[in-house]
Amino acid sequence: MNSNKSNDTDISRTSTSTSIGAATASTKASSNDFVRKLFGILERGEYSDIVRWTESGDSFVVLDTGKFTTQILPNHFKHSNFASFVRQLNKYDFHKVKKTPEERQTSQYGELSWEFKHPFFTRHNEEALDNIKRKTTVQRKILLDENAIVLQSNDQQGLQDKSTVNLILSNTVTREKFNSLKRKVERLQKDLDFAKEERYAAKLEFQKLNAKYNTIVESFLTFKNVNDGLINNFNQLCSMLSSRGFDLPQNFYDQIDVGNNLNKTVNIDQKLAKPYDLSNANAMVPGTLQNTPDAEATNLSLPLQDVTAKPVPEVESDGQSALTDGFHVLLVEDDAVCIQLCSKFLRKYGCTVEVVTDGLSAISTLEKFRYDLVLMDIVMPNLDGATATSIVRSFDNHTPIIAMTGNIEDQDLITYLQHGMNDILAKPFTKDDLHSMLIRYLRGRVPLSKQQLEKQPQVQTRPQSQAHSELQSQGQTQSQTQSMAQARPPLQSHHSIQSISGSVSQPPSTSVSEGDVKILIEDEPLLKKQRV
Amino acid sequence: MPIPKEIVDWNILNEIVSMDEDDPEFSKGLVIQYFDQAETTFEQMQTNLEGAGDLKSLANLGHFLKGSSAALGLQRIAWVCERIQNLGRKKENRFPGKEYLVYQSPVEMPKPGDYVDTRIPNSQDDSFYLKLICEALEQARYEFSLARKELSAYYGAEL
């Protein structure tokens, strides 16, 4: 719509000017000297390695802006830099020919070339240059000048012409005004659209931050649990050793004290715990708040409520009833025994299972299909699970990816989380360990296969036995959902999570009640397990 | 953590056996598959020790077998495999003597810290670790024969 209107104005402007001033080419020549100079350079082809016509001849291209600035501008134009030259071109209604990055790369004039276009600026067509004029503000003045010229040169024809010219002139002026108003309205419309878009983007961004925040809080809880477990183990070990008459160095006890102090500070923090504070929220999500007026303080407190509310029903639920059937799980594992065992457990919980045996196939499978959950071994041939996850995270931020590993040393755990894995299931795990992980990530969710059923009721899926037919039917609708997911801007990198984590470290400890932490600890499979 | 006293952690294996309810022979099939896998892995370790002597592959093989052993509750084998993994990564530089490792040994197992002797410099060349892995592999095969005997008795068949 916009482009149509601007075309209209272009045409009306040029047609009036030609009708008035056909006989005044010589005077006009001076009015677009700049364009003629450029035309001359292009026609003579004296700098063809720097600037030349494109093959079609209806546009010209600057191949090397650097040389253009140093060699051509000082000798032929009064512009001191390329930008001001481009501004001048724009004033004459030249437009840069826009190109996508791919087109740029394949452009025969090089990636850094600038192509400009004007409908009347074509090769070997000097006459058409008359139609090229400076735009808008100057426009009216030029028209008046022309009027004067017309009157002088045609004074023999007298009043008749004068009245016609006046008529045309007054007509032109009102049109000009009209057009400028129209442009203003268009600009406002554009601004409005832009603002709307921005608001929407900000909202999205905010939701994404919320999700990240959730993940971070959860990671912190996991860390805390792991840490507490370690301290517990350590305490047990120390008491066991001392009960057997081993002399422990003093600094061992000091370390235990550190652990106790840590717990104490957490407790104190919990006494201060309050519903999530808006001022904190402001600090956490800088800038986004004003853009999303519907994100009230109540919304901001949601993530924490989620986190704290989550574990409570887990304990109440008797287990299986909480999980719907039909979740589709991708199992990435290279050990045949573990594959059999784990997929058996998963099927027992009503999941359908797809197995791949290394990191590379995991990536290519996740590119094609979506799963409700991914269970990923770490040490695998071809590509390890952590690296595979970080690649998957470049196009899929949503699917929960759980590490399955026997390496549960702190440094390893941190590495896995930094690579974008959501959680860790320590090997060997029991059926219950696996179940609580499924509960944690799938409880209350509708399996993807059933979401598609709602959209496409004609597709029959039988989750228990016919994983393959289901996968195929899923594959068809998959491409749509997948492309939607890809259209979302991917997470920049997982370092961004790290960078936020500094500022987030406080809220979790203040707002998670002691009871919740205890429940989480009880639920934490890592802590029930001795290291193998 | 010292080597576990029992060959099988029945908490773990019983859970797998309970899956036989709706799929008879499931656990037995899994155990047989594991035995095949373990023997293959031992052969790969042996070949590596006699040939390339590549610590990294040995560590990976150790890690691999540790996973499936632990999954079935074969905790003593898993323990030895972890030693192999750590020796291959040069994170440990000692392997306990046989007197501690015999099944139901009356001798108290050394502390975990004893697997790393800080007096031994890190700069030891690979052959030093390869020799320890040789000992560990021998131990792993011994544990394997114990596990096979115990599980054969459990299933009442030669596995």
Q: Is B27 in CB contact (< 8 Å) with chain A? A: no
Please give the pLDDT value at position A381: 85
Residues of chain B found within 8 Å of residue A344, distances taken between Cβ atoms: 19, 23, 26
Residues of chain A found within 8 Å of residue B28, distances taken between Cβ atoms: none
Please give the pLDDT value at position A63: 87
Domain endpoint, select from A176, A192, A208: A192
Residues of chain B found within 8 Å of residue A335, distances taken between Cβ atoms: 37, 64, 67-68, 71
Domains and CATH numbers, chain B: 10-155 (1.20.120.160)
Same domain, A224 and A185: no
Same domain, A279 and A342: no
**Domain count for chain A:** 3
pTM: 0.46
Which segments of chain A have a pLDDT < 70? 1-30, 136-173, 249-322, 452-532
Please give the pLDDT value at position A111: 79
User: Is A338 close to B67, i.e. CB distance below 8 A?
Assistant: yes
Angle at A113 between CA A54 and CA A11, to 5 degrees: 55
Residue B49's alpha-carbon distances to B46, B52, B79, B84, B135, in angstroms, are 5, 7, 20, 12, 11
A 414-453: CB under 8 A from B: 427-428, 430-431
- Nearest partner of A211 among A521, A410, A434, A500, judged by Cα: A500
Same domain, A18 and A136: yes
Residue with tokens 């979506």: A370
Indicate the pLDDT class of residue B120, thresholds 50, 70 and 90.
Answer: confident
Same domain, A367 and A433: yes
Parent domain of A231: 193-309+501-532
Which of B27 and A250 is assigned the larger pLDDT?
Answer: B27
The ipTM (two decimal places) reads: 0.89
Of the candidates A336, A379, A427, which has its C-beta nearest B33's C-beta?
A: A336
B18, B21, B32, B34: best to mutate for the A interface, most A CBs within 10 A:
B34
Tell whether the torsion through CA atoms of A452, A453, A455 and A459 is positive or negative.
positive
Same domain, A107 and A203: no
> A103-145 pLDDT, tens per residue?
877 778 887 788 898 888 888 888 888 888 887 554 444 444 4
Residue A234's alpha-carbon distances to A10, A195, A237, A359, A500, in angstroms, are 81, 57, 5, 35, 31
Does residue A124 lie in a domain region? yes
Please give the pLDDT value at position B105: 77
Does residue A49 lie in a domain region? yes
B 65-84: CB under 8 A from A: 66-68, 70-73, 75, 78-79, 82
Please give the pLDDT value at position A245: 79
> B42-67 pLDDT, tens per residue?
999 999 999 989 999 999 999 999 99
Same domain, A457 and A532: no
Does residue A317 lie in a domain region? no
A240, A339, A341: best to mutate for the B interface, most B CBs within 10 A:
A341
For chain B, the residue count is 159
Q: What distance in Å separates residue A232's CA from the closest CA in chain B?
A: 15
User: Is B71 close to A341, i.e. CB distance below 8 A?
Assistant: yes
- DSSP characters for A100-128? -HHHHHH-TT-TT-EEEE-TT--TT--GG
Please give the pLDDT value at position A142: 45
Of the candidates B37, B63, B71, which has its C-beta nearest A428's C-beta?
A: B71
